[in-house]
A = this chain, B = another copy of it.
Amino acid sequence: MPESLAIGIDVGGQSAKCGVVTRSGVILRQCVISSMQPTLDGFMSSLGDAVKMLCTQTAHEGTVIGIGADAPNANYYKGTIESAPNLKWARDSQGRPAVIPFSELLSERTGLKVTLTNDANAAALGERTYGVARGMDNFIMITLGTGVGSGIVTDGRLVYGSDGFAGELGHVCVERDGRQCNCGLKGCLETYASATGVARSARQMLQDDPRPSLLRNLAPETITSKDVFDAAAGGDSLSKDIFTYTGRILGHAFADFVKFSAPEAIILFGGLTKSRQFFHDEMVREMNANLMDIWKGKVQVLYSSLKESDAAILGASSLVW
C-alpha cells in the first residue's frame, strides 16, 4: 500500500508556503507562492496549481489524502477566512476584508478535503504531532511574533470554542487602560510581549529612564526587537531590563492561563523566542510567584523543537492526520 501523505499550507500576508509531508514529519517537496495577488481567483488558481504540482512530484512516494492549511482569521468550523486585513485577495468588490470560503474553493480546485485553522492552532498541532509536545494531552502553545497567538490543547484536543475563535490569548488584558492594540482594545498582552511590543517598551523606557543605552544611537521610531536583542547581547543594561519587563508580563499572564486549563506545559514559538536568554528566567519566576501551591514549580515552559522554516508547513499538515 502506498504511503499516505498530507499537504500543509501556511498562508501569510506575503506568501503561502506549501509542502508535502509524510506521517513521520518529513517534508518531501515544498514550494512558495506569492500571497500578494490582487484577486481571489488569481490566488486560488496559483494555490490549486501548486497543490497539483506537489501531488504529481510525489506520486511515486505516496498518495496525498488531504490538505491542512492555516491562515489569519481562519474559522475552523466553517473553513472560512473572515475579515483578514492583511490578505489582499480576501476582500469584497469594495476592497473591504470579506468572508472567503477558503476550504471549499481549494477543495473544488484540487479534489482534496481541506481543513483550515489559524496559525497558532496549527503550530500547537504541529508541536504535538512532530515536536516537543509529543504525548502531551494538555498544553498551551504561545506564538511570540509580530503579535501573540495561542493554541490551547486540553484532553488531547484543540479548544475551538462555540465559534472556532477560542484561544485569543494575545488579547487578554495585562494592563487596564494600557497600550492601544490593533484589535481596538487596550492593554492586550501582545502590545507588550510581541516583537512590536518589545519595540514599544524600548521607546517607552528610553523616554522614562535616564540611563545611557546603545539604543539611544537609533532613531526611536525605527527601533525593532532585534535592535533591543543586539544591544542586550552587547551588555546594554537598559535593553536587558526591557526583556526582563517583557518576561515579567508574560509570566504573570501565563499564571492565569494555568488557572484556566492546568496544562503540563506552555510552549513558546516565534521570532521573539530568539531573545529567550534575556527573559526566560524572569518569566518562569513571575509565573510561579503567581501560581497556587498545587501548580508552583510544576508547569514547564518549553520552546518549540521544530525548525522555524518547516514548522508552519508541518503544523498545517498535521490537521490532516
Contact = CB atoms under 8 A, between A and B. Distances in A.
A116 B159 CA distance: 24
A292 B262 contact: no
A294 interface: yes
A159 B154 contact: yes
Given A154-B161, A264-B162, A184 B256 contact: no
Contacts of A155: 157, 159-160
Given A154-B154, A159-B155, A162-B264, A183 B259 contact: no
A33 interface: no
B162 A256 contact: no
A221 interface: no
A30 to B, nearest CB: 32
A93 to B, nearest CB: 22
Interface string A68-79: 000000000000
A262 B161 contact: yes
Interface residues of A, number: 42
Interface string A9-31: 00000000000000000000000
A137 interface: yes
A228 interface: no
17 contacts: A137-B162, A138-B161, A152-B261, A162-B262, A163-B262, A163-B298, A166-B260, A168-B259, A169-B259, A171-B259, A172-B256, A172-B260, A173-B252, A173-B290, A176-B252, A184-B292, A184-B293
